């Protein structure tokens, strides 16, 4: 069961030959190979996402796993744990941004299988460099500063790998919060395509005829 800080978790009632069966909504989505990342990325959230990825990959490596993301980002180390697991599993990962993907959530969005990274039309995608505050001795502060720089290099290298952008450009763009629309994210290489509502998709197709 997915862990969220929601007041109420919806349940789905299904009729079976043995009677009614109730599932919380996250478990029901998991049955359809859908994982939902809809909160800040913490160690607890990362562990849950990783467990779901490993379970679905063990169930079948031939079927895609869908990861819907609406997250402001969060812990870099927790995000990297999810990222490494995404690279480890054999099944193709379809990543879909709904609402917003910021910081580490954007890294995860970009790490889907090539050609299978999407966003809804009004999604907002944001990149920035790692940040954090440290207290202690000058030596402790220096140690943590070096660690932040190391993590920044790791994240920039990952983004360069999945977007095709030079590391130098990513370093420059992430000096400050760098916001993108869905269209801009396609051009940047973070996603491959925008998913339009079905009615709107039909309109787009008709206008091209």
Q: Which residues are catalytic?
A: 103, 128
Tell me the pairing of strands 93-102 and 65-71.
parallel
Instruction: Report the first-to-last Cα separation within the chain, whole angstroms.
Output: 46
* Alpha-carbon gap, residue 78 to 44, rounded angstroms: 8
CB 101, CB 69: distance < 8 Å? yes
Any bridge partners for residue 32, and if so which? none
Question: Phi and psi for 190 in degrees, rounded to 5?
Answer: -75, -40
Both tokens assigned to 132: 């954090």
């Amino acid at each position: 069961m997915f862990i969220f800080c929601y007041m109420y978790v919806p349940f789905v009632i299904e009729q079976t030959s043995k009677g009614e069966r109730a599932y919380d909504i996250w478990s029901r989505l998991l049955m359809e190979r859908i994982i939902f990342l809809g909160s800040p990325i913490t160690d607890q959230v990362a562990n849950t996402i990783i467990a779901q990825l490993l379970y679905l990959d063990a169930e079948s490596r031939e079927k895609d796993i869908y990861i819907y993301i609406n997250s402001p980002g969060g812990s870099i180390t927790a995000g990297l744990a999810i990222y490494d697991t995404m690279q480890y599993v054999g099944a193709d990962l379809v990543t879909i941004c709904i609402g917003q993907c910021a910081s580490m959530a954007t890294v995860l969005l970009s790490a889907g299988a090539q050609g299978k990274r999407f966003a809804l039309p009004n999604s907002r995608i944001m990149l920035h460099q790692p940040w954090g505050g440290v207290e202690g001795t000058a030596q402790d502060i220096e140690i943590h500063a070096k660690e932040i720089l190391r993590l920044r290099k790791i994240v920039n290298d990952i983004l360069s790998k999945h977007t095709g952008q030079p590391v130098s450009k990513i370093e420059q763009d992430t000096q400050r919060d760098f916001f993108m629309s869905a269209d801009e994210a396609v051009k940047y290489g973070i996603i491959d395509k925008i998913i339009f509502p079905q009615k709107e998709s039909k309109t787009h197709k008709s206008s091209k005829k």
